Structure 1
C-alpha cells in the first residue's frame, strides 16, 4: 500500500484548481487534502453526501474525488445525482477491484476511477489529466472549430453538443472528449489505445474497458437507435468507426 503523502514536481496547474474530496475515512481524506494542497491545488474534504451538498451550495469545484463506500448515500448514487446537475469531472475511489464496480461508476457518469489502495502519484496524474482535458479545448488550436454531423453540432471551445432543434445535450468530460476525437477522425477506424491518446488521456486516462462504457453512453445520446448504432460502428478486433460526414460549422 503506497498511500503515504508525497510531493511531486510540476503537478500543480498554473492557476490553482479547487478539488472536493468526499471520503469518510478521516486519515485518507486528510492525507489527500494535504497532498493536493502541497501540489498546488485548493482541497476541501467532506465525509458524506450531505456534507458535500452543504459545501456545493457555498462554492463550486473544478473536480470531485468521490469514494464509493460512504455512510448513508453511497458514491454511486451521489455520482448519478451530481451528473444530473453538472459536468464537473469526477474521479471515483473504490476498494473493490472487480470490473463491475468500475463499470457501474462509469455508467453513472464518473470520468475515471482509482482502486484502493492507490499510489498518490497515480491519483495526482489522473486528476491533472482530467483537469487538463476539461479545459484543453482552449489550449489546442486544432480543436477550436465547431463541427456538424447528422444534425448535431459539437463545439470544442464551448464544450457543447447541440441537437438539430438547438437543444444542448449534457455530456461528461470523458464522453465529450471521445466524441470530439471521433468527429475529427470520421471515416477512420480508431483503436481504444488511439482514442485514449487522442483524448489527451495518456497514462492518466481510463482503461480500455471504460472506453467501451463511454462510447455506449455517447450512443445513448446521439444514435437514432442505440441498440443498432449507425453513427458509431464497432469494428471487431479493431475499435470504433465514426460514419457520418463531419463538416466545419
Structure 2
C-alpha cells in the first residue's frame, strides 16, 4: 500500500514527529508532518492524504476534537496515537470517527501494521477524487491538469501543460527529448527534430521556473544524463 501513499503525521513532540516521519518514509510512504491541529488544518486546506496519524494529547485542540471536526467534511482514514490507553478514551476516539487507535509507547512495526491494515480496508471509490503530485510547495492536479502553489493557480502555457501531462503519466521514469518531441506532436526529420529538441530544452527551463525553488539546481524536474528528463515528486 506504499509507493504514492501520502500520510500526514500530527504530533507536538518534535522528536517523535521526526522519528515517525523518517521511519514511515523509509518504509516507502510519502510523509508530511504537522506540529499541532492548527498546522494540520492549514496543510489539509491545500493537500489530500491517504491516511492521517494524529496524536491525541496536543496543546490547544487535541486529536479527538480534531478528528470529530474533520469527519464533518473528510472521509480520509484516521489513526489516533495516545500516551493513555484507557478504554473510555479509546472509545471516545473511535466515536469521534477514528479508524483505529494505538497507545504509546508502541513498536514502530506495530504502527506500520496498523497503517497497512487501515489502508487495505479503506474503500476505493469508483471515481476517485482529484489526485495530486506533490513537488515541494507546488502540487499538480492530475484530474484537471493544473499546477498550484498553495491556493494560487500557476499559469501554464499549452506546451508547459502538455509537458506536465507527459511527465505525470511516467513519474520517476526518464523521458528522452526525442520522445517528448514526438509526444508533443512536433515535426520529425533530423534537422527539424534537433531544433525541436532544443525547443523542448527551453520549455523545460521555463517549466522549472514554475516548479523549482532553485531552477538552476532542479530537485523535481531532473535531468538524467544520457536519458532525458524525469519528474521526481516528494
TM-score bin, normalised by smaller chain: 0.5 to 0.7
In structure 2, distance between residues paired with 1:17 and 1:102? 26
**Secondary structure in 2 aligned to 1:58?**
coil
2:15 alignment counterpart? 27
CA contact (8 A) 1:93 1:116 kept: yes
Larger radius of gyration: 2
Structure with bigger RCO (C-alpha 8 Å, 6+ apart): 1
For residues 3 and 35 of structure 2, the distance between their equivalents in structure 1, rounded to whole angstroms, comes to: 26
TM-aligned CA deviation for residue 14 of structure 1: 5.3
Q: TM-score, normalised by structure 1?
A: 0.49
Contact 1:62–1:88 under 8 Å retained in 2: yes
1:39 aligned partner: 27
How high is the TM-score relative to the length of structure 2? 0.52
Partner of 2:104: 116
Distance in 2 (CA, whole Å) between partners of 1:82 and 1:130 is 18
Q: What does residue 42 of structure 2 align with? A: 54
Structure 1, residues 147-179: CA drift from partner, whole Å, max 9, x if none?
xxxxxxxxxx579xxxxxxxxxxxxxxxxxxxx
Equivalent residue, structure 1, for 2:69: 81
Q: How does 1:204-223 map to 2 (within 5 A)?
A: none
SS across alignment from 1:127: helix
> Residue 189 of structure 1 corresponds to which residue in structure 2?
none
Match of 1:143 in 2: none
What displacement does 1:76 show? 1.1
In the alignment of these two chains, the number of paired residues is 128
2:77 counterpart of 1:67: no
2:79 alignment partner, SS class: strand
Instruction: Specify the alignment match of 1:101 in structure 2.
Output: 89
Q: Provide structure 1 residue ranges, at least 5 long, that are not aligned to the other structure.
A: 1-12, 139-156, 160-249
Superposition CA RMSD, Å: 1.7
What are the Cα deviations for residues 94-133 of structure 1, in whole angstroms up to 9, with x where unaligned?
Answer: 1112101100000000000100001110110010111111
* Distance in 1 separating the partners of 2:33 and 2:46: 14
| 1:1-249 superposed matches below 5 A | 13=1, 15-135=3-123
What is the DSSP-based 3-state SS (H/G/I as helix, E as strand, rest coil) of the residue aligned with 1:123? helix
**Partner Cα separation in structure 2 for residue 126 and residue 78 of structure 1:** 20
The verdict on how the C-alpha distance between 1:86 and 1:80 changes in structure 2, with shifts beyond 3 A counting, is: same
